[in-house]
Amino acid sequence: MHIQYKRPFVTDYQRRILDSPARYTITAAATKVGKTASHIIWLFEQALTLKENQSVWWVAPVYQQAEIAFNRMRTQVTNKAFFKVNESKLRLTTPTGGIIQFKSAEKPDNLYGDDVYAAVFDEFTRAREEAWFALRSTLTKTEGKCKLIGNVKGKKNWGYKLSERARMGELNYEFHKITAYDGVNAGILKIEEVEQAKRDLPQHIFSELYLAEPTEDGSNPFGLSFINQCIAPLSNRPAEWYGIDLAKYSDWTVIIGLDAEYKVCHFDRFQMDWAQTEQRIIRTIGNTPAALDSTGVGDPIVEKIQRVCPRAIGVKFTSVSKQQMMEQLTADVHAGTIKFPEGVIADEMRNFEFEHTATGLRYSAPSGLHDDAVCALALARYCSQKNKKGVFVII
């Protein structure tokens, strides 16, 4: 069978990675510099060499990301009848019988067993190391190539360690780095957008997402050294503002009070039924301004509390509002203008993470941990904005 193929346009830095003779290429890349698009091209080219029932894989941390790559590849081929498409299994079959399979790394055990002739591990730094072990095993018999691509996420993870091995000249490995400015020079990004992001984002976040430079603190938005500089004993002054994160499922209700100098002066963390929770909050805040998380189940609770505490306001966490609140809290932590005690608050802040998504930055605790105290502190700070004009920039 004769297939006529012409490679789409790729930049010089993309071409160096795609045409590398190394069996394993590891690319630390800035966001939106064409790493996914170029590697879709490469995997398609590998699939054209397959015989019937031979496979190449695209592996992503979660199913939704694998599905995005699946849809992009099938739509980039101008001949719509070229692939035999199986949407339920995220599988594309070429006219030669070769199979392009798009898989999730969520359950590494599901990656064992097959013989794979080439693979792309997309956003590998956000996946578990066990997934790489499984994927690597599938390439053993075929001696297939694999390209690992992703944003950097600090220095305390397996992806960084593997990247360093490649950088140091590990046999069969090759390391590449793409920055946002490489994307600007190639015409993929606009310099104005990159410079605006530099002004908008904390330095360590910009360094990771746009310069592909891992930071010591990884994906922690506050920075461990900055957190430590904000540690102070619980203040004995009265609260001027409260922030309250309401429990959901297995989480904790947390009440944090800030005094006039933005020092935590009240900290309460508990798990109770809603009736007891309402009464405890009412007794604590009284007529003091308070901001309560009213997202989801919190909305009716806040309404009941407002009947007794007229200066309480509800705040709905959306991806945008939470990002804004956390970035403002990050700015305060970096400036050292907010203080909190060692313990639960400081520990949650040390564990807190950001993750780059298609819609922006997502802030949350790692899986299995809590961020209730961090959210309560951000809400207390937000409450101060709404009730003490001119102290902070209002979101």
339-360 pLDDT per residue, tens: 999 989 998 898 788 776 666 6
Q: Which domains does the chain have, with CATH numbers?
A: 12-211 (3.40.50.300), 224-387 (3.30.420.240)
CA dihedral for 29, 30, 31, 33, sign (positive or negative): negative
200-244 pLDDT per residue, tens: 887 878 988 999 988 765 678 888 889 999 999 999 999 999 999
**CA separation for the pair 68, 131 (Å, rounded):** 19
Percentage of the chain exceeding pLDDT 90: 70
Q: Is the pTM of this model over 0.85?
A: no
253-277 pLDDT per residue, tens: 999 999 999 999 999 999 999 999 9
Model confidence band, residue 5 (pLDDT cutoffs 50, 70, 90):
confident
For the chain, give the mean pLDDT: 90
Q: In the predicted model, is pLDDT for residue 118 greater than 50?
A: yes
Percentage of the chain exceeding pLDDT 70: 94
Per the document, the length of the chain is: 395
Q: Which residue matches tokens 């508990």?
A: 270
Model confidence band, residue 250 (pLDDT cutoffs 50, 70, 90):
low
- CA-based radius of gyration for the chain: 25
8-56 pLDDT per residue, tens: 999 999 999 999 999 999 999 999 999 999 999 999 999 999 999 999 9
279-334 pLDDT per residue, tens: 999 999 999 999 999 987 768 899 999 999 999 999 998 888 888 899 999 999 99
Pairing between strand 145-150 and 173-178? unpaired
